[in-house]
Homo-oligomer: A and B are copies of this chain.
């Protein structure tokens, strides 16, 4: 039987490159996308298109309304998404921006872990990435290592010696490398969506757009998305 993996798919650049790396390892991929009450559903649509493009075995859209908790610009519409920072301002800032969703990756990984155990998957792939990022604590290697221990001790399969492995193949990459690796693997960048807003075109000014654009620029590759208002 083919080995299975659950891949977290946000519809963005990082998770799509990660997905393709899982496919290259010949995993039977079960995609998992969260409809968590984010500002817009555009990223869910992008994830669906990517799942279709790669004809993955299954693509589950899991509904969980994090607006029930709030506490972030992504889940509470009264909080503003910051704009206009430069790549270096984002990268060097010691502040965690208001787009941080409290314990988000722990919630997403816990559901992915549950799904992986339920279907007998060996691994969960997540496109966490810390180097060129907004400094979210739950994207760091030491955090992932701690979650790996939870996966080992808190599941039936884990205590029986077959813990679900948490795979983060791009965690040490900078954005330039992510774009280059994606290009080498033929990732359809035009289907991905990184902008925190859900407009017709990507805004180009939120942290997520700035990080993405900088990665494409440094890689000398043109981002096929349209930017503007």
Bits for A141-167, please: 1 = Cβ < 8 Å to B, else 0.
Answer: 011001101111111101100000000
Chain A 100-120 near chain B by CB (<8 Å), digits 1 or 0: 111111110111011101110
Copies in the complex: 2
In whole angstroms, how far apart are the Cα atoms of A117 and B142 in the complex?
20
Give Cα A184 to B23, complex, Å.
58
- List the B side residues contacting A84 at CB < 8 Å: none
Residues in B neighbouring A118, C-beta threshold 8 A: 69-71, 102
A137→B154 contact, CB < 8 A: yes
A77-119 contact mask (Cβ, 8 Å, vs B): 1 or 0: 0000000000000000000100011111111011101110111
Which residues of A are interface residues toward B (Cβ below 8 A)?
60, 62-66, 68-71, 96, 100-107, 109-111, 113-115, 117-119, 137-138, 140, 142-143, 146-147, 149-156, 158-159
